[in-house]
Amino acid sequence: MSQLVVIILAAGQGKRMQSDLPKVLHRLGGLTLLEFVVEAAYALDPAEVLVVYGHGGDRVPQTLPNLKVTWIPQSVQLGTGHAVMQAMPDTPDEATVLVLYGDVPLIKQTTLEQVVAQASETSLGLVTVDLDAPTGYGRILRNAEGAIQGIIEERDADSQEQAITEVNTGILAANAGRLRRWLASLKQGNVQGEYYLTDIIALAAQDGIAIHSIAPNATEEVLGVNDRLQLASLERYLQRVQAEELMRSGVTLRDPARLDIRGTIRAGQDVIIDVNVVLEGQVALGDGVSIGPNVLIRDSEIGPDTQILANCVIEQARAGARCQIGPFSRLRPGAHLSDGVHVGNFVEIKQSQVGAGSKINHLTYVGDSDVGKRVNIGAGTITCNYDGAFKHRTIIDDDAFIGSGTELVAPVKVGAGSTIGAGSTITHDTPPGQLTVARNRQVTIRGWKRPVKPTSKAP
């Protein structure tokens, strides 16, 4: 088999997006459109992936520096045919070229394999699809025998041609030498004054090349993103597919339409996810995890049988088994909860370990702390970890009991089994097993009178 070179067209502005951002950098399920296409290309194990970029200057390669592709500039966007031409000089004649569009993100490996298999000296593969609403797409022209003769862009089509429902997806595979010759004879004689890649189909037909159409498994695979409405409808489709995968793997979704996954989820069995949950980045959910409504989890690991109640935000955090988190808890980066930890409402934890069985149930900030096992932190406790310039650590040893409304001024250590009286401001380490109270004693002023306004005389 000849070597495969994939050319991805990503230089267009995407006028219809009405955006400052180059179109291929808009996101679907958390990833840029271009990343989807590059991933589909990699799946074919090609000799090379060339990405033609241009609108927005270097913004596309700069945003995605980790993509293993060769970046090919197209400094003026003179059309899809012109874009492919930019990528041809170093491509050997005997190679097979697969053209992908950077704005057609959900294309699948199996469809691509079929279209590549059709490319030879004497034949060409083209992905086409029948659409109920073909508006905006190039239409496929066939002769009386059903052989493909060319593609007409919607803008250049008459009303009879516009009635054709078989459309060009833009995805094609051809012999590189042949493609090079067809590209060289493209003309700008169309409404947009562009070099249309689609015009090579008529040239190929004239050369007696057999043009094989390939249909995708699902129409959504080949839908293009030209405006934000199409972006949103592909997003819904992708979310539905991801939700179905999760359900098949044993996750209960209270409403598959009200979960958004923007990343990669690993979920154990019997996970239950309530409505309006957003999972981003790399999220791992152990067996039996339950997630309440309105929860955001990003790049975090949740241990088995842990319950996350409504309205929590959890980011770069870890929770062990059988924890109870929320409602209204915030776990920030570096919050690591061991097994059986309870974190309640309006509690924020950052860069802190919390030992097994500890409870932090109400209105508390724990930052830069090492909390031991079975510690009880009372309502309204604050670790004062920042002196305006530096962050300091707070250490709370096993079995400590921190009374409500306590301030722990770091660096400070609360000894094992210490009890801290409510309302204390702790500035020195506390001895293990003792009660420490750091607040003024209560006084009562006997006979004190509350001031009163003089009453005005009745008229």
Residues within the interface to ligand UD1 (CB under 6 A)? 9-12, 23, 52, 74, 77-80, 82-83, 101-104, 137-138, 151, 153, 167-170, 196-198, 224, 226
User: Minimum Å distance from CB 72 to Ca ion?
Assistant: 19
DSSP state of 203: H
Cβ neighbours, 10 Å, residue 215: 16
- Do residues 253 and 235 make contact, with C-beta atoms less than 8 angstroms apart? no
Map residue 250 onto helix, strand or coil: coil
Map residue 406 onto helix, strand or coil: coil
Q: Which stretch binds Ca ion (CB under 5 A): 39-47, 48-56, 110-118, 218-226?
A: 218-226
Nearer of residues 67 and 312 to ligand UD1, judged by Cβ: 67
User: Minimum Å distance from CB 199 to ligand UD1?
Assistant: 8
Report the alpha-carbon distance of residue 148 to residue 164 in Å, rounded. Answer: 13
Among 188, 226, 361, 404, contact with Ca ion (rule: CB under 5 A)? 226
- Do residues 124 and 59 make contact, with C-beta atoms less than 8 angstroms apart? no
Nearer of residues 85 and 116 to ligand UD1, judged by Cβ: 85
| CA-to-CA separations, 278 to 312, 333, 408, in angstroms, rounded | 11, 17, 34
- Do residues 105 and 33 make contact, with C-beta atoms less than 8 angstroms apart? yes
Cβ neighbours, 10 Å, residue 449: 6
Q: Does 153 bind Ca ion (CB under 5 A)?
A: no
User: Minimum Å distance from CB 209 to Ca ion?
Assistant: 25
Q: Is 336 a catalytic residue?
A: no
In the set 82, 336, 342, 362, the catalytic residue is: 362
Q: Does 77 bind Ca ion (CB under 5 A)?
A: no
Report the alpha-carbon distance of residue 29 to residue 261 in Å, rounded. Answer: 6
Among 103, 274, 280, 301, contact with Ca ion (rule: CB under 5 A)? 103
DSSP state of 121: S
Non-local (6+) Cβ contacts of 456 within 8 A are: none
Q: Does 194 bind Ca ion (CB under 5 A)?
A: no
Report the alpha-carbon distance of residue 277 to residue 262 in Å, rounded. Answer: 11
User: Minimum Å distance from CB 357 to ligand UD1?
Assistant: 55
Nearer of residues 155 and 428 to ligand UD1, judged by Cβ: 155
Among 224, 292, 340, 378, contact with Ca ion (rule: CB under 5 A)? 224
Q: Which stretch binds Ca ion (CB under 5 A): 100-108, 159-167, 215-223, 426-434?
A: 100-108
Pick one of Ca ion, ligand UD1, none as the site partner of residue 137 (Cβ within 5 to 8 A by kind).
Answer: ligand UD1
Q: Which stretch binds Ca ion (CB under 5 A): 16-24, 34-42, 221-229, 385-393?
A: 221-229
- Do residues 341 and 358 make contact, with C-beta atoms less than 8 angstroms apart? yes
- Do residues 275 and 255 make contact, with C-beta atoms less than 8 angstroms apart? yes
User: Minimum Å distance from CB 208 to ligand UD1?
Assistant: 23
Q: Which residues bind Ca ion (CB under 5 A)?
A: 103, 224, 226
Catalytic site positions = 362
